[in-house]
Structure formats: C-alpha cells, structure tokens
Amino acid sequence: MIGCMSNYSAASAALDDQIQRALARGHTIDITTTGRKSGLARRIETVFHNIDGKIVLSGIPGKRSWYANLLADPSLVFHLKKTVQADLPAIARPVTEPNERRALMARVAANWGRTDLETMLGHSPLVQVTFPETPTA
C-alpha cells in the first residue's frame, strides 16, 4: 500500500464529520496510485462521484494510466483538498459486473451531462473506492 500522512486526527470526531460531509457529494480530488511499471507514486487530479453512498471514479472514454495502475495494485490514497484536507488510504475495485456497471455509469454520465452511455460503458474506466481505515472518534 502507498504510504501517506494523514492531515486529520483520528481522535477528532468533528473532523471525522467533516470528512464524511466531504465524501457525501462528488468534487475535485487528487489520487495517488503506484505506477504499474515504475513502482513510483503517481498523483493526479480527478473527480469522484458519490452515487447512493458508493464512492466511484471514472473518466471519459479512453485508456487511463491511473486505471491501469489500479488494476495492477488497487491501493491508492484519496486526497481531499477542498473544505477539508485529508489523505485517506483506500482500495479500488474495478466495476465490471454488467448490471452494476450500467447503473453506476448511467449516473456518472448524467452527472457529466453525457448522452453516450454505450460508449462510456465500453471504453471508460470505472472503480468503486472503499476506505478500510475509517477514522474513529
């Protein structure tokens, strides 16, 4: 797993609430993955979506290095950087089951105002992100 330093105190219930609020709706974040070939940390800016409580990352149709990196090593750091700053260790799971993929991708497409759902289903990355080390009060 990628090492990270948290910008939050696990003992702070108020900050835990801020993190939960920040995750409640999608916005711009950074993610750090491990390069599948280099083994080096790779940090990029992206957008996440909260779809019925599921945190997902996607992208426009095409190959994405971050997605290839996550296929090779699903560990990442999810960097909140808006109203609250936190570096959250996370795990990515590629969404490949057809019904689940269609349901989530339809919501991503709608969020982006896209009408090419079939293209997105066939050519866009889609992962669900979970946070195994949830901060506690």
* pLDDT tens-digit readout, 37-47: 999 999 999 99
Q: Which residues contact 89 (CB under 8 A, 6 or more apart)?
A: 1, 2, 4, 75, 77, 78, 131, 132, 133
Mean pLDDT of the region 63-92: 95
What stretches of 35-74 adopt beta strand conformation (E)?
Answer: 41-51, 54-58
Query: How sure is the predictor about 13, in pLDDT bands with cuts at 50, 70 and 90?
Result: low
Residue 5: inside a domain, yes or no?
no
Residue 7: inside a domain, yes or no?
no
Give me the CATH number covering residue 54. Answer: 2.30.110.10
> What pLDDT score does 132 carry?
87
Domain extent for 90:
13-130
Q: Which residues contact 117 (CB under 8 A, 6 or more apart)?
A: 102, 105, 106, 109
Residue with tokens 């993955």: 33
Mean pLDDT of the region 17-28: 91
d(CA 79, CA 57): 13
Query: How sure is the predictor about 14, in pLDDT bands with cuts at 50, 70 and 90?
Result: low
- Which residue type, as a one-letter code, is found at position 136? T
pTM of the model: 0.84
Residue 4: inside a domain, yes or no?
no
